[in-house]
A and B are shown apart, each in its own frame.
Chain A
Amino acid sequence: MDIEKDKKISLLLEDLSSLESYINDIFTFSPLPFCFISPAGVILESNPSFEKFSGFTFDEIIGKSVEDLFDNEIIEKILAQTEKKGIFVGQEVDFYPKDKNNLIVQVFAKARKDEKGNFLGYFLGFSDLTKVKKAADNSRRALMNILEDIREARWRAEEEKNKTLAIINNFADGILVLDSKNRFLLINPVAEGFLDIKKENIMNKSVSEIPSLKNLLGAKKKLLFRKEFKIRDDLVLEVTAVPVAREKARIGTLIIFHNVTREKLIENMKTEFVSLAAHQLRTPLSAVKWILRMLLDGEIGKLSKEQKEFLKDGYESNQRMINLVNDLLNVARIEEGRYLYALALTDMEKLISPILDHFKEYCQERGVGFIYKKPGSKLPKVLIDAEKISIAIENIIDNAAKYTLKGGSVTVSLKCDKKNNIEICVKDTGMGIIESQKKNIFSKFFRGANVVRKETDGSGLGLFIAKNIIEAHRGRIWFESEENKGTTFCFTIPIKKK
Chain B
Amino acid sequence: MAKKILIIEDEKVLADLLRKRLLMEGYDVTVSLDGKEGFELLKKVKPDLLLLDIILPGIDGFEIMEKMIKDKELSKIPIIIVSNSGQPVEIGRAQKLGAKDWLIKAEFDPQEVIDKVLKQIGK
Tell me the A residues contacting B by CB distance below 8 Å.
279, 282-287, 289-291, 293-294, 297, 299, 322, 325-326, 341-342
Contacts and interface: CB of A to CB of B under 8 A. Distances in A.
A342 B87 CA distance: 11
Question: At the interface, is chain A mostly helix, strand, loop or mixed?
Answer: helix
B17 A287 contact: yes
A62 to B, nearest CB: 127
B106 A285 contact: yes
Contacts of A297: 110
B13 A287 contact: yes
Contact of A299 (B13, B24, B105, B106): B24
Contacts of B108: 286-287, 289-290
B110 A293 contact: yes
A284 B14 CA distance: 8
B107 to A, nearest CB: 6
A67 B21 CA distance: 143
Given A279-B85, A341-B88, A342-B88, A286 B106 contact: yes
B15 to A, nearest CB: 10
Q: Is the interface of B mostly helix, strand, loop or mixed?
A: helix
B32 to A, nearest CB: 18
A282 B110 contact: no
A291 B109 CA distance: 10
A235 to B, nearest CB: 28
B107 A286 contact: yes
A285 B105 CA distance: 10
A66 to B, nearest CB: 119
5 contacts: A283-B14, A286-B108, A291-B17, A299-B110, A326-B106
A288 to B, nearest CB: 9
A282 B106 contact: yes
B89 interface: yes
A478 B54 CA distance: 41
Contacts of B106: 282-283, 285-286, 322, 325-326
Contacts, number: 44
Interface residues of B, number: 17
B11 interface: yes
B30 interface: no
Interface string B89-120: 10000000000000001111110000000000
Contacts of A326: 106
Given A282-B84, A283-B13, A284-B13, 8 more contacts: A279-B85, A283-B105, A283-B106, A286-B106, A286-B107, A290-B17, A294-B110, A299-B110
Nearest to A291: B17
A291 B17 CA distance: 8
Nearest to B107: A286
B109 A293 contact: yes
B88 A287 contact: no
Contacts of A287: 11, 13-14, 17, 108
Contacts of B21: 294
Contacts of B11: 283, 287
Contacts of B87: 341
Contacts of B24: 299
Contacts of B110: 290, 293-294, 297, 299
Interface string B11-41: 1011001000100100000000000000000
Contacts of A342: 88
B3 to A, nearest CB: 20
Contacts of A279: 84-85
Interface string B64-104: 00000000000000000000110111000000000000000
Contacts of A294: 21, 110
A322 B105 CA distance: 12
A282 B88 contact: no
Nearest to B21: A294
Contacts of B105: 282-283, 286
